[in-house]
Structure 1
Amino acid sequence: MKKVFVKTISVGVSALFLSSIALTGCGNSADTPSASSQASTKPATSAAPAGPLTISWMVPQLTEENSYGQKYLEEKFNIKIKPYMIAAADYAQKQQVTLGGGDIPDVMMVLDPVSLQKYASQGLLAEVPVDTIAKTMPKYKAALDKDAPQAWFYSLFSGKNYGVTTFYPSGRFNAKAEWRTDLLKKAGIDKIPATIDEMTVAFEALKKIGVYGISSGAPGNQWFGLFKQIFPAYGVTPPQWMLKDGKVVSGAVQPEVKAALTTLADWYKKGYVDPDFVTGKDYKEKFIAGKLAYYDYGGALDTDESNASSMISLAKKTNPEAKVEIAPLPKGPGGQGDWAWGAAGNIIAFGKQLEKQPEKMKKIMEILEVVNMSDQGFTDLGLGKQGTDWDFKDAAKKQEGGIKLLAPNDNLDKRYGMGLGDGASFNPFTRQFAAEITDKWNPVVVEKSQQFNMPKVDLFGKPDVMPSSSKYWADLLKLKNETFISIVSGAKPVSAFDDFVKQWNTQGGEQLAKEANEMYAQVKK
């Protein structure tokens, strides 16, 4: 994203929201679909509770009931939490079923803008005026405005704000391209490939020793992840919105995509691409086992042998001679880069019933402000107890020397069960800490993340923020994935891309492009 646009949108979005979002509440019950259209001039009030507030809390993490994290929040903020324990893989579906059945939690994490639009249109969510956020969460809002101005698009529906977007500090950085350089050496390749042409040569050599060159994440679950470092080498990142000749266009239907698909189809035909790219089955495991040489979803610390969960540590368990190296993103005729989300994450939304319980909404906002914007919140909820759950790698250097998670509480599933974070930026309950906090505590991670960092961020942060996204987006993604997979695997010729472009436009893509240009023109004012 160009710096001029970031500056413009930061000012434009704030002005737009502060002027257009009124302090309105709803007097209808939470299970009435038409409640969103029945606004009163003031939110209803209720008597102060006699004891701790009980807050029902839904997040995509399998935390244990009465976990450390739950008790920490309850004791620190004088509340009682009723947790919904849902695995991340099942979250979207189970959230939809739960809300559809009339069970509306007080606070919930909504994964994407299109889901928020759907829930808001059904009258399930409470409106959250931006000036209320500014008064109750001043540090949090200031950090969003500074680092992730696109966040205000995520929680927008029909001119009103319906949540607080989470931070996503790691979204400032793209994933790391990683090579099993021990496999390259075995195949006779001494130099890490840095271009599409050099990758092609390496893949041919790897094929001769029975190793696949490349695969990709499961497109069904990670629709953005399909060969996400190859398309930018041709100048596009489908299906992000991008500026081209002064207009907002979808990267999914640009001619550069056809050129990238031509290369990918050729790679597949020659046996360079793992056939399981269609599902992403055992993607990481194959890289660790030495059956795949190139990995496009690596992390900044994957070459850290002191980290038991790093790629190099896991690979060495299989082969002590394994070697993993972070590499430049492949360069092609359109440049280089990789998909990145930007510093805005998901959305924390509130059940419709909280419009009648403003004290509860305020309490939740205060928790988000205190935890996500403070060093203590990071150490207490993100790390846990020093000496038991974590410690400094070097006591003298403290943060500058890095943080280590301590066994047996270094297993992430166990930590999440305890209601603890991953030691980087995430925690199960309040989600992500602000970048200004995480950077202070993980300077080593930040330094390594900046290596080969060429993030490609959607013009709006996420591509499904348009008003009509709930109507068209899911079907368009399905069309894109099916078409691209068919072309790469040879089930369809590359010329099928031309028919795809026509289908994309007639099945809602043209309408979304119209709305994207209108939105961009509005925030440029």
Structure 2
Amino acid sequence: MKRLLSIALAAMMTMALCTGCGGSQEEASSAASQPASSGSSTAAPTGSSEWPDIGSADAPVTVSLLIKDVLPTEEDVIEMEKVVEEKMASHGQYIDLVIVEPPAGSYGTAVPLGLRTGEIDADIIYFQGGDLAIAQEGLLEDLTPYVEGSTFVKEIMLPVNEAQITNYPYLLWLEPARTPVPVMRKDWAESLDSYAKLVEDPTVDNYYALFKEMKDKGLVEYALTTDNANNNGDGNLARINSIFNQAFGVTATLVKQDGKWVFSKATEAEKNKLEFYAKLYAEGLLDPEYLTNTWDVMEQKFYDGKAGMIAGNAGDTIKIYNDKMVSVQGTELVALPPAKGVAEGYSAVDTTKASRGFAINAYSENKDAAWAFLEFMASPEGRILDKCGIEGKHYNIENNQIVFTDRFPEWWSRIHPTTNNFNPEPPLAEPIYSQAAQDSLTLSDQYYVEDVNVLVPEELTAQWDAMKLLYDEYSADFVRGVKPLSEFDDFVAEWNAAGGDAFSEYLAGVLG
């Protein structure tokens, strides 16, 4: 009843709902438009000391946890629950960790709906979309006091994490900036004359030469593939854009042109980039099914050798790609720098909010215990579990070193993906990440670019949605040759009519 009352009150509020231009309504917010949290914790944040008391041996506090793709019946998950409980208990923190079955259907849709209806009432909930409206309804806890008082979480936060949780204090997701980094097979890279030239001087022309040599030598059906995930309104091009946006001058969501702020999608730089993509498509260098590939189809094409290059998020994703390629083709991967031209860098990173992460249910009766779990998993002990797996199964201690077993590739980090300040004791006998995965992290740090973005008031949300759909349609037609690039001015005119002109005054007021 309390939750339903909150929803009813939220519906009556006159607060402005805001979205970031660079993302969907669920993917942007700011400190200026934060929803008030209800059901606030009355106890001091867990971080008031390193190991504040939680529960007792006779009465452990139940902490329920919902995570996408993590099933309570999995052997590794059951063992993880047990290890967490034992290690936290050794510090006087007694919890009963309960992993909750993820909802059926689309996770990003089902979780917000389930939280509203009460079908989902976990203490800690992993969101991958759909959280903004939930936070605005007062259903998510403001994590600011917990983070500020933390001992371990603060120690492993990166600048991008700090910016995101400052702007939107409802999701905690500790990982490197989500920048797709391109990778290719190491054996093929070493066989191509164009590879060394690209690494030395990663111009757009040298990328094109690499693509062309891969195909001309018969190594691949097409050099580059991607999937149909329409990230941030990029019209299925997000992975590829991370390689080429900066080089063509598409440096941020908003750029200065003729003295005023405009959306980069409606600029000459965008036209030049799409013209290059159209060239790749026409010459068979870009996967002709890029618009319809699901992520698993895209990856399989890469592992099977149909495609020569894909881009994945730095760190864990590249580790997965590398381990799978080793098992399928017997070769490791190499990570590549972004193309350079007008500028050089991977995707501009929006710090208005994390696009995914852990939230604490505002109506949880066990908020401090829930935070204690997240804090423990950021501690040295918790991180060894999160990054290395179960002792005796995924690793053993040999000669005072952590030695991975042949089952380690089965394990993946479920709570805090970052390796920032990860210095386990005993030390690792070998790195967690393959060379390609580690290089992807190094490159993503080297070529990190923050986005220039704004918030959209509720009255312009419909226009922004229409503009994104318009871009999706035109960009797909331009790349596939359905429409010639000579019609780009027509697209810009329609873009401005759909909402571009309406934004002019707003952008001037926000950005000056």
TM over 0.5: yes
Give the conservation status (yes or no) of the 8 Å contact 1:350–1:361.
yes
What is the alpha-carbon distance in structure 1 between the residues aligned to residue 261 and residue 423 of structure 2?
33
* Residues 157-196 of structure 1 mapped to structure 2, 5 A cutoff: 161=169, 163-169=170-176, 171=177, 175-178=181-184, 182=188, 185=191, 191-193=196-198, 194-196=202-204
- How far the C-alpha of 1:88 sits from its partner, in A, is 11
- How far the C-alpha of 1:197 sits from its partner, in A, is 1.9
Pick aligned residue for 2:305 from 290, 296, 305: 290
Is 1:350 the counterpart of 2:372 in the alignment? Answer: no
- How far the C-alpha of 1:404 sits from its partner, in A, is 6.2
Pick aligned residue for 2:382 from 374, 377, 380: 377
What is the alpha-carbon distance in structure 2 between the residues aligned to residue 84 and residue 127 of structure 1?
19
For 1:337, what is the secondary structure of its paired residue?
coil
- How far the C-alpha of 1:258 sits from its partner, in A, is 0.5
- How far the C-alpha of 1:520 sits from its partner, in A, is 6.3
Q: 1:353 to 1:180 in 2, by over 3 A?
A: same
After superposition, give the CA deviation of every residue in 1:93-138 in whole Å (9 maximum; x if it has no partner): 22133234332423212225xx3321123x2513426345423x25
Partner of 1:86: 102
Structure 1 unmatched runs, 5+ = 1-26, 156-160, 416-421
What is the alpha-carbon distance in structure 2 between the residues aligned to residue 516 and residue 288 of structure 1?
44
Pick aligned residue for 1:254 from 247, 267, 280: 267
Q: 1:54 to 1:299 in 2, by over 3 A?
A: closer
RMSD of Structure 2 on Structure 1 (CA): 4.5
- How far the C-alpha of 1:511 sits from its partner, in A, is 6.5
Give the conservation status (yes or no) of the 8 Å contact 2:127–2:356.
yes
- How far the C-alpha of 1:262 sits from its partner, in A, is 0.8
After superposition, give the CA deviation of every residue in 1:442-474 in whole Å (9 maximum; x if it has no partner): 5876863455445343436xx686554976666
Q: 1:503 to 1:395 in 2, by over 3 A?
A: farther
Q: Structure 2 length as normaliser, TM-score? A: 0.70
Partner of 1:407: 406
After superposition, give the CA deviation of every residue in 1:333-385 in whole Å (9 maximum; x if it has no partner): x233222648966342233423xx3xx2122222222321x211111333233
Partner of 2:64: 56
Pick aligned residue for 1:435 from 420, 430, 449: 420
95-104 or 445-454: which moved more? Answer: 445-454
Partner of 2:488: 497
Q: 1:379 to 1:465 in 2, by over 3 A?
A: farther
Partner of 2:18: none
- How far the C-alpha of 1:488 sits from its partner, in A, is 0.5
What is the alpha-carbon distance in structure 2 between the residues aligned to residue 323 and residue 214 of structure 1?
17
What is the alpha-carbon distance in structure 1 between the residues aligned to residue 317 and residue 373 of structure 2?
33
Is 1:34 the counterpart of 2:40 in the alignment? Answer: no
Q: Structure 1 length as normaliser, TM-score? A: 0.69
Partner of 1:279: 292
After superposition, give the CA deviation of every residue in 1:149-203 in whole Å (9 maximum; x if it has no partner): 3213652xxxxx4x2422113x2875244356638847x7575543322333444
Q: 1:181 to 1:84 in 2, by over 3 A?
A: same
Give the conservation status (yes or no) of the 8 Å contact 2:184–2:310.
yes
Pick aligned residue for 1:199 from 207, 218, 225: 207
What is the alpha-carbon distance in structure 2 between the residues aligned to residue 229 and residue 443 of structure 1?
26
Give the conservation status (yes or no) of the 8 Å contact 1:384–1:390.
yes
Give the conservation status (yes or no) of the 8 Å contact 2:72–2:100.
no
Percent sequence identity over aligned pairs: 19
Is 1:486 the counterpart of 2:477 in the alignment? Answer: yes
After superposition, give the CA deviation of every residue in 1:79-101 in whole Å (9 maximum; x if it has no partner): 33443333899321221332343
* Residues 88-107 of structure 1 mapped to structure 2, 5 A cutoff: 90-105=106-121, 106-107=123-124
What is the alpha-carbon distance in structure 1 between the residues aligned to residue 507 and residue 422 of structure 2?
33
Partner of 1:10: none
Give the conservation status (yes or no) of the 8 Å contact 2:323–2:409.
no
After superposition, give the CA deviation of every residue in 1:387-414 in whole Å (9 maximum; x if it has no partner): 421258x957x5xxxx764233532xxx
Q: 1:179 to 1:447 in 2, by over 3 A?
A: closer
For 2:125, what is the secondary structure of its paired residue?
strand
What is the alpha-carbon distance in structure 1 between the residues aligned to residue 317 and residue 135 of structure 2?
40
Matched residue type, 2:406: A
Structure 2 unmatched runs, 5+ = 14-35, 44-53
Q: 1:336 to 1:138 in 2, by over 3 A?
A: same
Give the conservation status (yes or no) of the 8 Å contact 2:247–2:340.
yes
Q: 1:126 to 1:311 in 2, by over 3 A?
A: closer
486-495 or 336-345: which moved more? Answer: 336-345
Q: 1:435 to 1:274 in 2, by over 3 A?
A: same
What is the alpha-carbon distance in structure 1 between the residues aligned to residue 509 and residue 280 of structure 2?
39
Give the conservation status (yes or no) of the 8 Å contact 2:63–2:369.
no
For 1:436, what is the secondary structure of its paired residue?
coil
Q: 1:249 to 1:486 in 2, by over 3 A?
A: same
Matched residue type, 1:288: Y
Give the conservation status (yes or no) of the 8 Å contact 1:217–1:225.
yes
Give the conservation status (yes or no) of the 8 Å contact 2:247–2:343.
yes
Q: 1:213 to 1:80 in 2, by over 3 A?
A: same
Matched residue type, 2:391: Q
What is the alpha-carbon distance in structure 2 between the residues aligned to residue 367 and residue 516 of structure 1?
42
What is the alpha-carbon distance in structure 1 between the residues aligned to residue 37 and residue 356 of structure 2?
29
Partner of 1:215: 224
What is the alpha-carbon distance in structure 2 between the residues aligned to residue 298 and residue 146 of structure 1?
17
What is the alpha-carbon distance in structure 2 between the residues aligned to residue 516 and residue 63 of structure 1?
45
- How far the C-alpha of 1:482 sits from its partner, in A, is 3.2
Q: 1:192 to 1:503 in 2, by over 3 A?
A: same
Partner of 2:144: 130
Give the conservation status (yes or no) of the 8 Å contact 2:3–2:116.
no
Partner of 2:164: 151
Q: 1:179 to 1:241 in 2, by over 3 A?
A: farther
Partner of 1:18: none
For 1:150, what is the secondary structure of its paired residue?
helix
Matched residue type, 1:353: Y
